[in-house]
Structure 1
Amino acid sequence: MNQTLSPAQLAAYFDRIGYVAPDRKSQQATSETLHALHRLHPQTIPFENLDSLLGRTPSLDLASVFAKLVSARRGGYCYEHNLLFRAVLDTLGFETTGLAARVLWNDPAAMAPRTHMMLLVETPDDTWLADVGFGSMTLSAPLQFDAGRQQATPHEPFRLDLIERGDFMLQVKLGDTWRPIYRFDLEPQFPSDYAIANHYVSTYPDSIFVNHLVVARVVPGERQTLYDMTLTQRGETESRRELANPAELRSVLQDVFGLTLAGNKADALVERIARVSTSITS
């Protein structure tokens, strides 16, 4: 049974992402509502892996995810984002199915394990792929489940291709080149599936989320990404900035991504990043 939010929680989520329903229809399970929520969520709630980098496995029960992403105004990674987004959609009456994908973004030749979560969403007029938690290439709009067709979003064009063995591949067009993001099938996933994958990506020694800081947000006209101490802002032009110390990291996390760090977390993050970098180069 899918989980839903209380009226107070739904109102708090709407406030968190800045969604103001213009009329009663805007809180119904329509494609217009789906597009509006999918646009606002990744603009406001950043992708981030602070917990796993600091040695903690994020909890995936809905109460904990809501407390972190909404009440504490933090971010999270794919499971947290898409579990919360699914609960919102289910509360509004959408039909949703949790899926899992093999990530190809950094290594398109690999057959990686299924460690990414996204959603299949049904509306009265169509079927959609929704994904508000893929870091630097998070969708800024849901995609119609229509294989082979280029689809516009507020940012880059995307497409779904049907490939071997009934799998689908999500691709993004960057310049004149189509780049693979992930491959998946339509087998429904259950909380136990995500619990195993969540444990793996937050504890496996070679996991990117154990070894590198990854923070991302997609805002109108621009993608913002922090990878370790490198801040990249890409829109019509691209800029890169190397952060020099914990104070600069704390400032970027707060001023660019809207994250407030308590205590000495910025110092701990920089120490962890430096320790990993030293081990790689030595």
Structure 2
Amino acid sequence: MSGLSHSRLYLQRLGYDSPPPPTLQTLCELQLRHVCAFAFESLSTLLRLPVQIDLPSVEQKVLFDGRGGYCYELNQMFLALLQYLGFDARGITGRVVMGGPPDARTARTHRLSLVTLDGVRYITDVGFGGMVPSSPLRLDTEAVQATAHEPYRLTFNQGEGSYTLWAEVAGEWRGLYVFDLQVQADIDYEIGNWYVCTHPGSPFVGQLKVARLAAGKRHTLNNAQYAIHYLDRPSDKRTIEYADDMLGLLEGVFGIRLPTQPQLRSVLEGLIAG
């Protein structure tokens, strides 16, 4: 993996004038600032375009083209930043079980990172869509952990040597993904990304999934379904009925500079039509 080429610009986008020290406080600040600054978005897979996950391509897309991305992009760029700052960090992968049984044997299609600080292990994730944790989570405990948003917890699956990440949503614990600490090579990410952006069975191909966090709330867009999820009151939900409204939402709320593909409007109109 090549190193982060535009660390200064990345840090400026996160609100830093100079590199912060590799501490737990910094890790917490970086994760929260990242999920509030950069959108999770699947516009490329919506348009059935290939997603390049080499680091220079990711930097170009996110830092210069004004786009967001998904886990293979955002968590790779975030990991490169952590390593640049001197964190002991590496990538790992997981199996998404959100929306299904927590013990389902799904494909390894999620990327996140493992960070070790003063002998204590944490997971950090800035690329899990609408339920992305907004704070790092301590690995070797099953206690409920507060974040800047919802509570989360981790359980260890003794028989398989894996962990399950859970989030408490509306008073209910929901399994999000299962992961282990197996060392990953670049080809492992390439295979997972190839499946996510090209396979007919991928939930991303031809679909629009967008998310961005703010203080006390989450903005999500799932095809034409837009929602604002609050921590202290019921969610606001509505169906987007016009392409112009969706384009405005993508630019205004999610902070995405729209891609120039001429088919974007017609594809969005198709989503809205159902």
Change (3 A) 1:63 1:256: same
Change (3 A) 1:189 1:140: same
Residue of structure 2 in register with 1:138 after alignment:
132
Residues 211-255 of structure 1, C-alpha deviations (whole Å, 9 max, x = no match): 320000111100110000111001123101211121011000011
Are residue 241 (structure 1) and residue 269 (structure 2) matched? no
Are residue 226 (structure 1) and residue 201 (structure 2) matched? no
Residue of structure 2 in register with 1:257 after alignment:
254
The Cα of 1:31 is off from its aligned counterpart by 0.9
> What SS class does the counterpart of residue 250 from structure 1 fall into?
helix
Quick check: 1:31–1:125 contact (8 Å CA) kept in 2?
Answer: no
- 1:167-182 aligned at under 5 Å gives the runs 167-182=162-177
CA–CA distance in structure 2, aligned partners of residues 268 and 18 of structure 1: 36
Residue of structure 1 in register with 2:101 after alignment:
108
CA–CA distance in structure 2, aligned partners of residues 33 and 137 of structure 1: 22
CA–CA distance in structure 1, aligned partners of residues 201 and 156 of structure 2: 30
Root-mean-square deviation over aligned CA pairs: 1.6
CA–CA distance in structure 1, aligned partners of residues 78 and 10 of structure 2: 10
TM-score (norm 2): 0.93
The Cα of 1:82 is off from its aligned counterpart by 0.4
* Structure 2 unaligned blocks of 5 or more: none
Of the three residues 46, 54, 68, the one matched with 1:53 is 46
The Cα of 1:71 is off from its aligned counterpart by 1.3
Are residue 270 (structure 1) and residue 262 (structure 2) matched? no
- 1:43-82 aligned at under 5 Å gives the runs 43-82=36-75
Are residue 18 (structure 1) and residue 24 (structure 2) matched? no
CA–CA distance in structure 2, aligned partners of residues 268 and 35 of structure 1: 40
The Cα of 1:265 is off from its aligned counterpart by 5.1
Residue of structure 2 in register with 1:150 after alignment:
144
The Cα of 1:176 is off from its aligned counterpart by 2.5
The Cα of 1:173 is off from its aligned counterpart by 1.0
Quick check: 1:224–1:231 contact (8 Å CA) kept in 2?
Answer: yes
In the alignment, residue 16 of structure 1 is paired with which amino acid? R
- 1:195-214 aligned at under 5 Å gives the runs 195-214=190-209
The Cα of 1:271 is off from its aligned counterpart by 4.1
* Structure 1 unaligned blocks of 5 or more: 278-282
CA–CA distance in structure 1, aligned partners of residues 98 and 272 of structure 2: 25
Residue of structure 2 in register with 1:280 after alignment:
none
Quick check: 2:123–2:138 contact (8 Å CA) kept in 1?
Answer: yes
- Where in structure 1 do 4 or more consecutive aligned residues deviate above 4 Å? none
Of the three residues 82, 97, 102, the one matched with 1:89 is 82
In the alignment, residue 265 of structure 2 is paired with which amino acid? D
CA–CA distance in structure 2, aligned partners of residues 255 and 11 of structure 1: 25
Residue of structure 2 in register with 1:120 after alignment:
114
Quick check: 2:4–2:77 contact (8 Å CA) kept in 1?
Answer: no
Of the three residues 170, 188, 191, the one matched with 2:183 is 188
Residue of structure 2 in register with 1:215 after alignment:
210
Quick check: 2:135–2:148 contact (8 Å CA) kept in 1?
Answer: yes
Quick check: 1:250–1:266 contact (8 Å CA) kept in 2?
Answer: no
Change (3 A) 1:175 1:245: closer
Range with bigger deviation, 179-188 or 103-112: 103-112
Change (3 A) 1:58 1:132: same
Quick check: 2:122–2:136 contact (8 Å CA) kept in 1?
Answer: yes
